Amino acid sequence: MAQAPPPAALRPVDLSSFRNEPFTKTGDPEQIALYRAALAGLRRELGREYPNLIGFPAREVRCERKLQSLNPSAPSEVVAIHQEGTPELARDAVAAAERAFESWKRTSFDERADLLQRVAQILRRRKLEFCALMALEVGKTFPEADADAGEAIDFAEYYALLARRLGHPEPLPQLPGERDELLYLPLGVGAVIPPWNFPLAIMAGMAMAAVVAGNTVVLKPSSDSPTIAARFMEVLAEAGLPSGVVQFVTGGGDTVGGTLVEDARVRFISFTGSRAVGLLVNQRAALSQPGQRWIKRTILEMGGKDAILVDADADLDAAAEGVTVSAFNFQGQKCSACSRAVVHEAIYDEFLRKLIERAGKLRLGLAEDPSVNLGPVVSERAYKKILSYIAVGKQEGRLVLGGEPQSSAAQGYFIPPTIFADIAPQARIAQEEIFGPVLAVIRCRDFDHGLEIVNGTEYGLTGAVYTRNAEKWERAKRDFHVGNLYWNRKCTGAMVGAHPFGGFNMSGTDSKAGGPDYLLLFTQAKSVAARL
């Protein structure tokens, strides 16, 4: 009998070698000048039309109907024009991705990891361009956009390390007379449906994780941030990704997105967005279609109603700062944003005073202005939704800051930091995800009561505890039911590698993006035993 080939040589990959991309000094005059130059360059391209990219190799496809991407700081300004894709185009993209998979799946993990490292280098070189584009397309300030771009770079480099580890796994225990291996194979064609609020980091991270695992992708970006995704397609091409491995289709969630989710040839769906849409994706993906040969895998991140618990012995200055940053940075439009502050009654009034003072100093203005703290919310739809919740809040509690838009929607979607005090734990603004700069402050009797309140929603994404008591922190580690928990710091700003990100309950499938197990979600393990 022929001798079986030996398993792949072990080449341990040290994940501790990973280092996060440094933050840009966004207050430095030299960096501000470079950022303004990037803005000026983009302004010369305003109104540019971007095609869909469909086929193997991909070809430019334009549609009769168009989508406009608008600047939320100045809605009369058209950032770019995109195609309103159709179900037929979505199906064409799946067919092309299926053809591309036959060759892409045969590339090695090391080859694909090399690609991601080239992506990281290009993103680093084009970082300020993407920061400026995030200001224009979704209203991110310079520091927020810099963190977003840095996270995209981190995803590329970290997932490259994970891919090398999967390509050179630790050996299995060997049965006598056998050579035993565990191989990690790609799944097939995936639908990647990212959100607008981290339009580079989450979009790129979702797509790169699928691709580096050996899958092909149909990327349907949010209609609020298609230009950033289109420019990322340029990065992939420059890095050497074969044309057609990622298909690019813009269009509506019900038309393009729904078609992708239900297509029998799609093996997995990676989705980040609202609870309502995520549950619909999960439901539709669970229904087997004619000709379907697998159970579709869903990787879902669906938001939160995140809380910071401030105990009686907390450093109140640090807590007020942490809540302010967590609640209002990027206008509260983060799934990790603090939308509930649960505060011990003994320090409630003092904490509230400090919170109002800090939040009241935040400067609201054009997102591209490096001197402002907060920009607009992303769209007129979001603007109207948030104002409707503010109206509810005025009935449910005591308005202590903000509450009124500073301009009409036609002039920009600007809503100031808004704080409601004396909110009941079961009030609507304490239970429903608002996704805007609205904070509910809730009184608790003691630490146990505080834990009861923070766990009293259907979500479980992020949370934080401010206390000097280490025993209470140990309690929170066990009993504060969220996927990402922090002690004496803000509940936003998860860093790739150090803070694998994903939540419990209705916050999603706890997929832990940026963590050591994430790529396993995009592979299937095959056990191979050869008799010697």
Structure tokens at 393: 């809040």
Catalytic residue among 335, 338, 444, 491: 335
Residue from 113, 277, 135 nearest 199 by CA: 135
The closest of 287, 155, 266, 186 to 220, measured between CA atoms, is: 266
- 131 part of the active site: no
Using DSSP, state whether 424 is helix, strand or coil.
Answer: coil
Other CB atoms within 10 Å distance of the CB of residue 191: 32
According to DSSP, residue 513 is labeled B
Q: 484 with 283: CB under 8 angstroms?
A: no
As given in the structure block, the two tokens for residue 116 are 């991601």
Q: Which of 324, 341, 338, 216 is nearest to 270 (CA)?
A: 216
Cβ proximity of 419 and 400 under 8 Å: yes
Q: What is the DSSP string of 9-60?
A: PP----GGG--PPPPP-TTSHHHHHHHHHHHHHHHTTTTEE--EEEETTEEE
- For residue 17, give Cα distances in angstroms to 47, 469, 517: 43, 33, 17
Sign of CA dihedral 409, 412, 413, 417: negative
Distance between CA atoms of residues 296 and 266, nearest Å: 7
Is 335 known to be catalytic? yes
Cβ atoms 35, 131 nearer than 8 A: yes
Q: Which of 129, 137, 151, 301 is catalytic?
A: 301
**Nearest to residue 83, comparing CAs of 215, 247, 200, 238?**
247
Residue length of the chain = 532
Burial class (CB in 10 A: 0-12, 13-18, 19+), 264: middle
Please provide residue 468's backbone torsions phi and psi, each rounded to the nearest 5 degrees: -95, 0
Q: What is the dihedral angle through the alpha carbons of 331, 336, 340, 344, rounded to the nearest 10 degrees?
A: -120
Strands of 125-164, DSSP E: none
Rounded Cα distance, 82 and 420, in Å: 39
Q: What whole-number distance in Å separates Cα of residue 481 and Cα of residue 459?
A: 9
Active site (catalytic) residues: 301, 335
